[in-house]
Amino acid sequence: MPSEEATNGSEIVTAHLVCDLNVTDLDNAEWHSAQSVKIDRYWSGERAPDSRHAEARLLWSDKALHIRYVCHQGEPLVINTNPQLQTKTMGLWDRDVCEIFIAPDPNVVERYFELEAAPTGEWLDVAIQWRPERRESDWGFESQMTTAAYIEKDSVTIAMRIPWSESIPQPQKSERWRINLFRCVGKDPDRGYLAWQPTKLPKPGFHLPQVFGWLVFG
């Protein structure tokens, strides 16, 4: 069983679920056995204030990958006042959001999937492919992900359920994928871009697959 100790190292071991979870089951006891992953540094590597820290936990079943973020919320939410949940929300990254980048083939880390969810339950998914000359984004990609969120006075909980598919296939136990986890929070000029594995780019940015950590399917 994975350790409950929080980590911001480069490897996450995710426990296998016998029964799949509903994305709205934010307090299921299974989450307590999942490894806690700290998201407490900006993209630059600088430590963020405690009021912006987040914790992520991942689980997987024979049907889907599950991720839950619990975020400290020490400032006003930056959210869409008129959210829609039927289709992906373009520009979601400009508001408060949690993200996961997934590269199922560790030998081709330049091809990965970006999945985002907001405190409103809004979501976005896109397939990324880095070419020598540019980054290509397939906005027509459909992961069939579902999301859930719960807002409290000083915290926000956000969950994603990402079903296995031809693009993101069901892994085998002990398989290792490349991933990174992120949180965007606040308004400019003090907007925070937090990363589990900081990219340390000259400007705020997450799209550097070479620094992705590892997700091990236990």
* 3-class SS letters over the chain: CCCCCCECCCEEEEEECCCCCCCCCCCCHHHHHCCCEEECEECCCCECCHHHCEEEEEEECCCEEEEEEEEECCCCCCCCCCCCCCCCCCCHHHCCEEEEEEECCCCCCCEEEEEEECCCCCEEEEEEEECCCCEEEECCCCCCCEEEEEECCCEEEEEEEEECCCCCCCCCCCCEEEEEEEEEECCCCCCEEEECCCCCCCCCCCCCHHHCEEEEEC
- Comparing 2 with 96, the larger pLDDT belongs to 96
- Domain 11-217 carries which CATH code? 2.60.40.1190
Residue 3: is its pLDDT beyond 70?
no
pLDDT of residue 9: 85
Instruction: Enumerate the domain spans of the chain.
Output: 11-217
Residue 4: is its pLDDT beyond 70?
no
pLDDT of residue 5: 46
Averaged pLDDT, 58-68: 98
pLDDT tens column, 32-46: 999 999 999 999 999
